[in-house]
Amino acid sequence: MEFALSQAKKTCPFLHVTSTSSLRRLSTLPAGAKKSNALLNKAQQCPVMSKAMEAQNTTTPAAAQQTRTISTSRSSFQKPTASVKAKALENTESVAIPSKTPFAATATATPTLEKPVSLNTNAKHFDYESFYNHELEKKHKDKSYRYFNNINRLAQKFPRAHTSRVQDEVTVWCANDYLGMGRNPVLTETMKRTLDRYGAGAGGTRNIAGNADLHLRLESELADLHHKEGALVFSSCYVANDATLATLASKLPGCVIFSDQLNHASMIQGMRHSGAQKKIFRHNDMTHLEELLQSVDPATPKIIAFESVYSMCGSIGPIHEIVDLAKKYGAITFLDEVHAVGMYGPRGAGVAEHLDFELNAAHPTMGNGSIVDEIDIITGTLGKAYGCVGGYIAGSASFVDMIRSYAPGFIFTTSLPPAVVSGAMESVKYLKISNTERQMQQINTRVVKSRLAELGIPVVPNPSHIVPVLLGDAASAKLASDELLSEHGIYVQSINYPTVPVGEERLRITPTPGHNQDMIDHLVHSLETIWSRYSFRRVNDWVAEGGRAGVGMAQPPQIEPLWTNGQLGLDNVVQEPKAVKQSSSTVA
């Protein structure tokens, strides 16, 4: 009886607020009473129980005997397993999710009304292996199947790596360790000392033995970096984006998310998991975004989710304009700075910091009036420019504490190992004061873009550190990547759908401070050889076709690099490429 009551109290509003002793007292028959008590009287007033009691009164004695067993589970989840011949989603019914679940505001579950299992059936069991192979075959047919190359980056020879054969070395031109911090002694020596002192693993979740002083200090550094009250570290920024958007948007009543068309998969997944309504605006199209914002009640909670650097095309999000629209229409901003942290700004806080470069260089504190202060939520990674692993969010203290308290992706996973956290923290601290790595990376990027432009090899135009070389179909991109690796000792991964749209397949090149002039010459010569051998389309060919992905457009936009000559120390240089060549050759 006690167990039944405890289960029933979870679903009934009356039982939920009534103590067990009170229920026992109500169920006791008064002196002289024969058929009723106060609890039954209460039940007859209930819109659910009154119908159940009415149905029970009309049940035959034989049927009633078969329904004596008490069940505290929801009946919709006790239906027998479907027959192997049953069709999916046939005869579905909509069941509201209880209001206290994270997805209650927008989601419904639609379990299938399943048919009983026939134990005497001769039907063949489902062929799982054939299903797997069928799905893989689709990938092979549309040329989107992903091949993972065996690449082992060498810390002492960065950006060199060996393949599956240790003696076969190649130059890596596509890693996201943009600044080569993964091999920097600032990280590696700190990590070694931490490993010796604290061991390999964190020991548990943040709630259970995995909340060390190192984690708290790293979060303080990240909060300071982004001019925010608090920060929270996750196992990756994929998890940070997914968990944060899912939790926040499901908690905000009736929330609507406005999402840039090119947002990363982690953000898209978080939106799906939230169950919130989503409105997609065309990439960086502020007119379209405002039209969508106007279509929603001003009092409705709204999130505008976007990125600062879009990693596959290198475009930059219009941060100022989005902040203005957010204020105008009562939205909060969610800015993904994953491919910008460590890379932009006087302290490496990202594009938002870079937009007020001089101000943030002189007064790197919260409340200095820069656009960084106007962003509500910033997410970033420790696994790219910082050379380590992990992700994080930064925002107000209350926001961070709410995500800490509710996000399953944070609560129920083992925290980052102490050695990883210490290395990441030292990298963040180091790049707050060193601009050398950022400047060298930008200079080498300028050189590569300029050299390819001279040859007509099509680079998707952008103001960032990404060099996307357009091929236009998956087979060509794969062929170019394979030949660079097998014949030229250069590793550049091909990028296909769904990472980029069909017809915009490309090579994604990422110069680093470690690529010297000889390496740049070899890359450019190798690309020219492959383009000539296979007659891959050059800029003029794309012009003739009307352009694609920003290449060969009739009226191309004028794009200036985000890093200015002054910020790179090139103001007084007459021949910039020559100065770049001298500088880049000094980097091992």
Q: Where are the beta strands (DSSP E) in 132-217?
A: 152-153, 160-162, 169-172
Judged by DSSP in three states, 338 sits in coil
How many Å apart are CA 446 and CA 464, to the nearest integer? 10
The H or E element that residue 528 is part of is helix 517-534
Q: How many Cα atoms sit within 13 Å of 337 on the Cβ side? A: 32
- Count of C-beta atoms within a 10 Å radius of residue 249: 28
Residue 156 is classified by DSSP as G
The 277-281 sheet, strands edge to edge: 230-234, 391-395, 377-381, 331-336, 302-307, 256-260, 277-281
What is the residue type of 392?
Y
CA-closest candidate to residue 444, choices 180, 185, 184, 186: 180
Q: Map residue 55 onto helix, strand or coil.
A: helix
DSSP secondary structure of 561-584: -SS-HHHHT-TT-SSHHHHHHHHH
Q: Could you confirm whether 192 is annotated as catalytic?
A: no
State the pairing for strand pair 377-381/391-395.
Answer: antiparallel
Instruction: Write out the H or E segment, with its range, that includes residue 108.
Output: strand 108-109
- Whether the Cβ atoms of residue 206 and residue 217 lie closer than 8 Å to each other: no
Amino acid identity of residue 208, one-letter, is: I
Chain mean position to CA 115: 39
* Rounded Cα–Cα distance for residues 481 and 92 (Å): 48
Residues 342/385, Cβ–Cβ less than 8 Å = yes
Which residues, listed in sequence order, are joined to residue 40 by a DSSP beta bridge? none
The enclosing H or E element of 394 equals strand 391-395
Angle between helices 286-294 and 319-329 (to 10 degrees): 10
Write down the catalytic residue from 228, 302, 384, 449: 384
The SS3 of residue 72 is: coil
Sign of CA dihedral 225, 230, 235, 239: negative
Which residues are known to be catalytic? 384
